[in-house]
Amino acid sequence: MSNSASEKILTLRKIIRDHDYKYYILNQPTITDYDYDRLLNELKELENKYPNLITPDSPTQRVGSDLTNEFKNIHHSIPMLSLSNAYSLEELRDFDRRVKDGLSEGSIPEYVCELKIDGVSISINYENGLLKYAATRGDGTIGEDVTQNVKTIRSLPLIVTPKEDLHDILNFEVRGEIYFEKEEFQKLNAEREANGEKLFANPRNSAAGTIKLLDPKQVSKRPLRVFLYYFFTDEYAVQSQDENLKILKKLGFRINENFRVCGTIAEVEEFCNKWEVTRENLPYEIDGVVIKVNSIQHQKNLGNIAKAPKWAVAYKFKPQQKTTLLKNITWQVGRTGAITPVAELEPVLLAGSTISRATLHNPDEIERKNLMIGDFVLIEKGGDVIPKIVSVDFSLRQDSVTKIEIPEQCPVCKGPLVKNVDEVALYCVNRDCPAQLKGKLIHFTSRTAMNIEGLGDSLIETLVDNNFLNTFTDIYDLKSKRELLINLERMGEKRVDNLLTSIENSKSTPFPKVLFALGIRYVGAGAANKLAMHFKSIDKLISASHEEIEAINEIGPRISSSVKDYFSDKENLRIIDSLKKHNINFFIDSEISISNTLEGKSFLVTGTLVKFTRDEIKDAIQKNGGKPVTSLSKKTDYLIVGDNPGSKVQKATELGIPILDEDTFVQMIEGKSNV
Ligand code: IVH
């Protein structure tokens, strides 16, 4: 790796973040989408070349793309575009004007209005009538092969038969939206709760999570559904979007029947208004209406801008709101000891889920909103997860409402609370507070930190309550308590062994993530990465001065003081020492090329590995001269196989590609084996 590449990466990230800020925060973009995409692509290319420089805070790691290493990539021969949004009827009329301006004089566009299903988009290819493959949207150009999972959707034909009145079309692509019905989503979450698993925030997230499960058998247990709205074939020239829908239906696909062909924008508005109020009655979630120019010829004339067509727009509904009773306020203790008020509400159904709690950010918000227990409050759930209290409905306030008391002691450990200067939050300062410990452990084990699978919130709770866990180090001593763990409720041998394996694997977590996992106040993933990359080891960071820390770009006095405070605490140093004894990574191995034993060879990895994380094995392949690849072909030199490998093993056998386990791979690096 050249220094200039890493410098270039840092510069690009900074430029892109600046543009993100101008675009999303200031609403004042200073470059075109096209130029922005070019910058992002340049960064992506560099990071692909030097994957060990990818950090969790890179703009490339945002959820714009849903690619993971687990599925084969599929190139969309027709890009999967996204839609521009209209947030008001005025913006909708602007769209109508733009369409009319874009068409030749006198052309009157017709529109098709369709419900905007809140799910995940999917593209499905049929060859000779057979469902050949299905791919997620990915970044719009490359998606992931989720064929086996999509095939579990009962309403989707695996084969279509020739229809004479449809010119016997048998080779085509369909696209649509995969989703869960509201009721099914609630059932799924109830089961997850009973199993102590993390809940899905909304039906869309649960559909997105389900379609990417590794095991199609698990997928088939969940009642996914699909509506199709797009049809493309080389075999016949379709004239309009409503013809597309008719063809889809005739071929046996499920379409959403609530669409309307509109001759004027006034009719479109009427359609939008109608569904904005009646959407609650639908069994599935919609978040708007998609308006498409009906004539395919008109669509072609209008064309696309950047990644969205000019001939379609998504009219987005306002976030759903409901009024409900504020029954009580409870106080939650976070990992830093911050105490936050939680509103306990009379449960109401809102945007597909039952809401019974909402977070208030700090005690000041109670005062600002003039909240009292017994008030009726307006709650809102935007596109995402946590509902918020918008305001109090004072017209409904009764005399019986009571004042909300701000606690004087920690609600969990009863220790004293303090308010830091310049801060609105209240803090519990008892270091032994079990609530703080649970929060710290949840953070330490989370996916973006040590990534210990199987150690979810409720198990952490049980383990802390049963005195199994008092510090981070205790996690690494759990293996000596295997029998005791097996006897815990809902555990059993398999779950415990998987957990212990995952704990063992976490020892190879790279230093930047370990530093982030410690949970030093104000040291998020980005700052942890900068500190780790700069100092290269925890010992150098511990002995660094304020000035040395602040010399790092974007690290200011707030972070440096917090870091110094953290390391001046003897208990924290003791924990780091004992983590070191468990071989947790507290330094960066800056050596890039270790050997060239894998020179010129390509490797595909499949299944769950024990010795390496996916990133590490990729790194190991590259550091030793090899090339990690993401799909299997005749040209692949080796397949590295972990547990539960799936279908790739058979394919490799058929192609005569040698299969290695992790140990053989390690021997190969060391030059002790050349299979
Ligand atoms: S058309 C170029 N029609 O909304 C046209 N999209 O915000 C692309 N969606 O990625 C899509 N219902 O996942 C279309 N009736 C509908 C839709 C729909 C939901 C989703 C789709 C798309 C996203 C764009």
What digits encode the pLDDT tens for the residues 188-226? Answer: 888 887 776 677 878 888 899 899 887 788 888 888 999
Residue type, 217: K
Structure tokens at 108: 């009157």
Determine which one of 22, 44, 116, 246 is catalytic: 116
Provide the mean pLDDT of the chain. Answer: 87
Residue 285, ligand 1, Cβ within 6 A:
no
Contacts 24+ apart (CB under 8 A), 90-98: 92/265, 92/268, 92/269, 92/272, 92/291, 92/313, 92/315, 93/265, 95/291, 95/313, 96/265, 96/268, 98/310
- Which residue's alpha carbon is at the smallest distance from atom 18 of ligand 1? 116
Residue 584, ligand 1, Cβ within 6 A:
no
DSSP state of 387: -
Q: Give the pLDDT confidence score for residue 523 in this predicted structure.
A: 93
The alpha carbon of 524 is separated from its chain's Cα centroid by a whole number of angstroms, namely: 18
* Mean pLDDT per 10-residue interval, the chain, length 675 residues: 79 83 56 74 84 73 42 87 92 96 90 96 94 90 88 85 82 96 89 75 86 82 92 94 95 94 97 94 93 97 88 92 95 91 91 82 90 96 73 95 94 91 85 92 91 87 91 94 86 89 92 94 88 91 95 89 95 95 85 69 84 78 86 90 80 86 82 66
Residue 69 alpha carbon to ligand 1 centre in Å: 25
Residue 276 three-state SS: helix
Question: What is the C-alpha to C-alpha distance for residues 333 and 340, in angstroms, rounded to an integer?
Answer: 7
Q: Is 580 a catalytic residue?
A: no
What number does the ligand 1 atom closest to the CA of 259 have? 15
Q: Give the pLDDT confidence score for residue 25 in this predicted structure.
A: 38
DSSP state of 537: B
Residue 317 alpha carbon to ligand 1 centre in Å: 14
Closest by CA position to 313, among listed 608, 12, 102, 25: 102
State residue 227 phi and psi, 5-degree precision.
-110, 135
What number does the ligand 1 atom closest to the CA of 137 have? 10
Ligand 1 pocket test: pick from 63, 80, 121 the residue with the most ligand atoms within 8 Å of its Cβ.
Answer: 121
CA-to-CA dists, residue 483 to 196, 461, 478, 479, 491, angstroms: 20, 19, 10, 9, 11
Residue 85, ligand 1, Cβ within 6 A:
no
Question: What is the C-alpha to C-alpha distance for residues 485 and 26, in angstroms, rounded to an integer?
Answer: 52
Residue 135, ligand 1, Cβ within 6 A:
no
Radius of gyration (C-alpha) of the chain in whole angstroms: 28
CB neighbour list of residue 579: distance below 8 Å, 6 or more residues apart:
472, 473, 476, 514, 586
Residue 86, ligand 1, Cβ within 6 A:
no
Question: What is the C-alpha to C-alpha distance for residues 588 and 619, in angstroms, rounded to an integer?
Answer: 13
